[in-house]
Amino acid sequence: MTSSSERHPWGLPPWRIDFAVPEQALPGAVDFAVVGGGFTGLATAAWLKRLAPEKSVAVLEAGRLGAGASGRTGGIPLAESAAGDLAGLGDVLAGFTAALDEFRVVCDLSLGGAWEIGRGGEALADSPIDWNDSGRLRVVREVPGGTLDPGKLVSGLARAAHGLGAMIFENAAVAGVEWGERPALRVVRARDGRGEKIAAGRILLATNALSLPLAGLETSTHPKLALAALTAPVNEELLRAIGLSQRKPFYTIDFPYLWGRVCPDNSILCGAGLLDPPASQDVAEIRLDAEEASRMMVQFEQRVGGLHSALGKIQFTRYWGGPLLFRDNWLPVFAWHPRSRHGVVLGAFAGHGVALSVHLGRWAAEALLGPRELPDWGRISAA
Ligand SMILES: Cc1cc2nc3c(=O)[nH]c(=O)nc-3n(C[C@H](O)[C@H](O)[C@H](O)COP(=O)(O)OP(=O)(O)OC[C@H]3O[C@@H](n4cnc5c(N)ncnc54)[C@H](O)[C@@H]3O)c2cc1C
């Protein structure tokens, strides 16, 4: 099997988002507009309402909640950032779990550790993983981290933000922002295609790898579509044979890249490669039924089949893609919008945003409310 349902050009992930967004009219003005209904936008909206209940907050999501990376992720929360620890970042996993407790989000979180695996000579003597993948691939060290259900995390954050009074709008794409003393967002709702304006005191752009010009990120970042794959459920014997019976997620520290985890039903979820967008840099134009993606899936299945003798007959049941945003230096973007101090841009977590996005949501809310400053490492140059 090489492809999941074709109803979405990026395929369908296995996660379920069960928060039903109530229908309502767009307000004419709000104190804070949050563009993007992924982990970053939803966590920030919840913190804004938690810290300043009297302020009005609207979350504007172009598709359904979790339509970007958050509903399509692997769901492996990790410490720090893709660039390591950063000034003022604090303990990412502690901040993440504190936010989940604060907002009573239940998402099957297990923080039993994650394995860094590599081909170098410094592997653990008793490495449970011993695979053949461009060299001998073994566990190098265990790091803080674990697994969760991303659908439940999106739903839980949305429920919390809504419960605290944030207005949430799905199928409401922000087509542009008129920056000025009182910025105005042009919002197009999918149901009738009509454009409406919302005035906002301040705006958070949490749009990740989509809408790069809107966020002022078109020259400073690189968008990709990350391909993920899911096997049919496997038995304990197979998990033991390949070294995954402890159910610790894993990722390589060298190339070629490989990451994965065991899901609650004993299926194995892994990253299957990165697809480049066309010259437009718009990842929305990538389709999983296109030739390049199909070729990547075939090569990936061959690669997995060769990792270990027990994986020779492994069956893949589903593929899907999700947007990732990178900077050359792997640092997240956490900056004032290049065109206005009325806007904050937060994202570009690479493959490291599950815990970090939620952790930084609090800092983003504090910066939007003032007077907390943004970190130097998050700056972007003017587009
Ligand atoms: C396949 C895959 C696996 C991953 N695995 C892991 C992992 O295991 N661990 C980890 O830490 N990280 C992982 N990541 C990264 C992590 O999922 C992301 O960093 C995180 O979800 C980013 O959240 P976000 O809210 O910033 O962005 P997103 O979830 O992408 O949200 C952005 C939202 O903005 C919306 N939007 C865009 N433009 C507009 C507009 N103009 N108007 C309105 N809305 C708009 C989009 O529809 C989208 O819903 C993975 C990512 C992918 C794709």
Number of Cα atoms under 13 Å in the Cβ half of residue 280: 7
Residues of the chain with confidence (pLDDT) below 70: 1-6, 382-383
User: Which pLDDT tens digit goes with each residue over 338-381?
Assistant: 999 999 999 999 999 999 999 999 999 999 999 899 999 999 97
Residue matched to tokens 């159910």: 247
- Ligand 1 geometric centre to CA of 41 (Å): 10
Residue 156 amino acid letter: G
What pLDDT does residue 382 have?
A: 58
- Ligand 1 geometric centre to CA of 349 (Å): 9
- Which numeric CATH code is attached to 29-378? 3.50.50.60
The ligand 1 atom nearest the CA atom of 75: 8
- Ligand 1 geometric centre to CA of 181 (Å): 30
* Phi and psi, residue 199, nearest 5°: -85, 140
Answer yes or no: is the C-beta of 203 below 6 A from any ligand 1 atom: no
**Residue 308, SS3?**
coil
Answer yes or no: is the C-beta of 343 below 6 A from any ligand 1 atom: no
For the chain, give percent helix, strand, coil, nearest 5: 25, 30, 50
* Domain spans, the chain: 29-378
Residue nearest to atom 52 of ligand 1 (CA): 73
What pLDDT does residue 60 have?
A: 98
Residue nearest to atom 14 of ligand 1 (CA): 351
